[in-house]
Chains A and B, each alone.
Chain A
Amino acid sequence: MSQETLRKPLSPQQLASSKNRSLFSGDTRLGWLLVAPALLIVLGMVGYPFLEAIRISFTDRMIGRGPGEFVGLDNYRYIIQWPQFTEMVVRTVSFTIVAVFLKTVVGLILATALNQDFRGRNILRGVFMLPWILPTYIIVLVWRWIFDGQTGVLNQILMSWGLIDANIPFLAKTWSAIGILIFVLVWKGYPFYALTFLAGMQTIPKDLYEAAKVDGAGRLARFRYITLPGLQQVMGVVILLSTIWTMNTLEIPLLLTGGGPSNDTEVFPLLTYHLALQNFRLGEGAALPIMMLPVIALLVLGVASYMDREAIE
């Protein structure tokens, strides 16, 4: 099998060539059969609740009081008039973009490094996955203690080295709080990137690198023309999904800053939690995430088209 065919999947036309056409009968039945379990799960556990939630968002439903009455766009109006709503949207989007970007960079660096052969590689891979494996709840608390403004580890270290004479309230100042939030988001999330990139890198044949080296390609060229294209599919998926997940992550902002010094880190999932889940109001609780859907969709489309553009090159 030649190198080219390994890299390019067969097109549907090639597959459907006369030699193979007879093999496609019965495909429909088999196809639907194989897809059925996944479809069932998605429609049942995601599709249906989603539709339900949309319906609820147009009512004034509260916990335990039955279906509630139709109130049209009242919930949506209430949320838009929330004083910091636009700020929150801007904030959420910008934090997400920065965090995802950093995760990608760190993920790539680490995956490249771990893709090489050296002793103890497996152990190191295991260690680098730890942030992802640890329970979010605990790790956020630990970072909180490290950055604590009164007796945090970081403050104590800086003090003992004589770098500062008063404790720095890291989490109570706007920009450092934001920075720490993004830092923890990246810390917790990059292993996912590194793991998938690594797996993707391992499907790139080593011979390609050898051939390129022989042809005189330097490190950067090898990375740009072999590694990155080989990772394209994987990167696209990971970035897309992680964008959505980062936007939706609740535990980290909740436990780390609780909305930060004076709302500076109040992001969308936190607002949903504060606004609705603590107040028994299902109507509002459904409306806010639905309102964020266009924002998420736009962001996703933005990333997707960027990845497509890269693909065409």
Chain B
Amino acid sequence: MHSNIEGLSRRNFLKLSGSLTAFGVLSACAPAAAPSGSGAPDGDKSLTFWMWNTFAPGADEILQERINDWGAENGVTVEISRDSDSNQQTKIMPAIEAGTLPDAMFSSAVVALQMMEARAIAPVTDLFGEIGEAHGGWQPRLEEYATRDGEIHFLPYSIDTPMVQYRQDVLEAAGIEVPEGQWTWEQTRDLCVQAQEYSAEAGDNMVGWGFGIVSQQHDGWCHDLFRNFGANLWDETGTKIVLADESMEAATNALNFTKEAFDMGLFPADAASWDYASNNKAYQEEQSILVINAASIYVWAAENRPELAEATGLAPKPSNVLDTTNTDLRYTTVMSSEASDKETAGDLIKALYDENIYAPWLESGFVANVLQEYNALPMWEGKRGAFNLAAQIGTYPGFPAPFDNAAMSELLGPNDPHGSMMVRVLIDGWTPEEAIAESDEFAKRVFEKYF
């Protein structure tokens, strides 16, 4: 019996002492490892700031470092919290509810719109003007896109410019001639079929297209395809769903076109299980000949496998009836409507666009800049310049309406009709009409909640 008691106390003791020792050891390491921390010794002012991990860890580190430097120089203690980009909504939602949003933060445009609806972020129209003036003006049409009801609530920070990235070397070896500038979807299909055949003969068995067939859109190719075929979900006001009423024919064309391509074997065999990272992986592992993605793939290749970057050709996204290529804001900066010190928060935000912070961040990242002053950066020479160009001519979300809204954000989430229709037709074997009818009804139900 006694040994039991000792056994019990010993166990507890062991556990406690084990944890304490571990705690001790780790705390010794911790200060060396802790990446965040402020610079200002006794900041009379303090701010909280949230940022997200992007594909370029180097860029994130630099940004955080520079923000701390700024804090030190200006007597502000900046408490930075960094998390995975995919956790934005989970982290932000409860914070809005409880009123604990940070003073300033980065956020994706989609989330910014929702925050705007929830009246959680403050208008920053003045800041927009000041920043634009200080840096040679914003890129074209950004002001138009950002202004809602006469006010601006989110400041663009980076533009995502998905482009076609393809294996130039494979096409060359196959003797395929690549059209100049923007391809059409038919060309995209035909060229890739040829390249795929060539690859099969050569024993590589690469797949022509690197697109996923899932409801939640990851690489946006569905949306672009529908749009360029002229099949719009909503009308020019952005408040009414017109899929079945007006876009039936165009949508049917788009779906039939893709079904043909699918039957030709252009899609990867496991396309139905792809996620956000799948097309990156497919291209990085040399499984796909052509993908549509942001510059992250190209940048990764440039860093980790230069031969692949060399072999990669870039082209704008394909066209059909329309030749719009879409672009959107990956990050915006916003200020909480409950920020206690809006002026200092504004100063921090302005500093984010200054050369010592913005330029290095851009250079180690993969997105396009929002301010014209940075067009002249050396990084835009060479192949990368294509991404910047695409940013400037791209169409912002919401087309054919002037800009997007919270209803669209909800609609284009996990059950994006564009993706769903593709899944129905390609994977479930439905007819285009059935798929369109289902998505139309779903979209209408979502929009009903808002308008």
Contacts and interface: CB of A to CB of B under 8 A. Distances in A.
Contacts of A62: 117-118
Interface string B282-294: 1001010000000
Contacts of A258: 214, 216, 273, 275
Contact of A169 (B205, B214, B272, B275): B272
B376 interface: no
Most buried by B among A64, A168, A170, A177: A64
A63 B409 CA distance: 15
B271 A172 contact: yes
A171 B287 contact: no
B386 interface: no
Interface string A81-123: 1010000000000000000000000000000000000000000
A289 interface: no
Most buried by A among B93, B285, B423, B424: B93
A278 interface: yes
Contacts of B216: 258-259, 274
B269 A172 contact: yes
A99 to B, nearest CB: 20
A64 B438 CA distance: 31
Contacts of B413: 274, 278-279
B90 interface: yes
Contacts of B119: 64-65
Interface residues of A, dominant DSSP: loop
A223 interface: no
A168 B268 CA distance: 11
A280 interface: yes
A262 B272 contact: yes
A262 B273 CA distance: 9
Interface string B410-449: 1001110000000110011000000000100010010000
B215 A150 contact: no
Nearest to A260: B273
Contacts of A78: 445
Interface in B125-157: none
Interface size class of B (residues with CB under 8 A): 35 or more
A280 B273 contact: no
A167 interface: yes
Contacts of B438: 83
A159 B97 CA distance: 52
Interface string B186-223: 00000000000000000001000000001110000000
Contacts of A262: 215, 272, 423-424, 427-428
A274 B90 contact: no
A1 to B, nearest CB: 14
B114 A261 contact: no
B268 A149 contact: yes
Interface string A54-65: 000000001111
Contacts of B340: none
A310 B308 CA distance: 64
Contacts of B442: 83
Given A262-B423, A277-B93, A169 B270 contact: yes
B315 interface: no
Contact of B269 (A166, A259, A280): A166
A64 B96 contact: yes
Given A63-B97, A259-B215, A280-B93, A149 B273 contact: yes
A151 interface: yes
Given A83-B442, A259-B215, A277 B89 contact: yes
Contacts of A81: 445
B334 interface: no
B359 to A, nearest CB: 34
Interface in A234-277: 257-263, 273-275, 277
Contacts of A261: 272-273, 427
Nearest to A180: B273
A63 B270 contact: no
Contacts of B445: 78, 81
Contacts of A275: 414
Interface string A154-187: 0000000000001111111100010000000000
Contact of B414 (A63, A166, A278): A278
Contacts of B415: 274
Most buried by B among A177, A258, A278: A278
A62 B116 CA distance: 12
A177 to B, nearest CB: 7
29 contacts: A64-B97, A78-B445, A83-B438, A83-B442, A148-B270, A151-B281, A166-B205, A167-B269, A167-B270, A170-B270, A172-B270, A173-B272, A258-B214, A258-B216, A258-B275, A262-B423, A262-B427, A262-B428, A263-B215, A274-B216, A274-B413, A274-B414, A278-B89, A278-B413, A280-B89, A280-B93, A280-B117, A280-B118, A280-B410
Given A169-B273, A172-B272, 20 more contacts: A62-B117, A62-B118, A63-B114, A64-B97, A65-B119, A83-B438, A83-B442, A149-B269, A149-B273, A169-B269, A171-B270, A171-B273, A172-B269, A173-B272, A262-B215, A262-B272, A262-B428, A274-B216, A274-B415, A277-B89
- Top-7 shortest CB links A-B: A149-B270, A169-B270, A64-B118, A261-B272, A171-B273, A274-B414, A64-B96
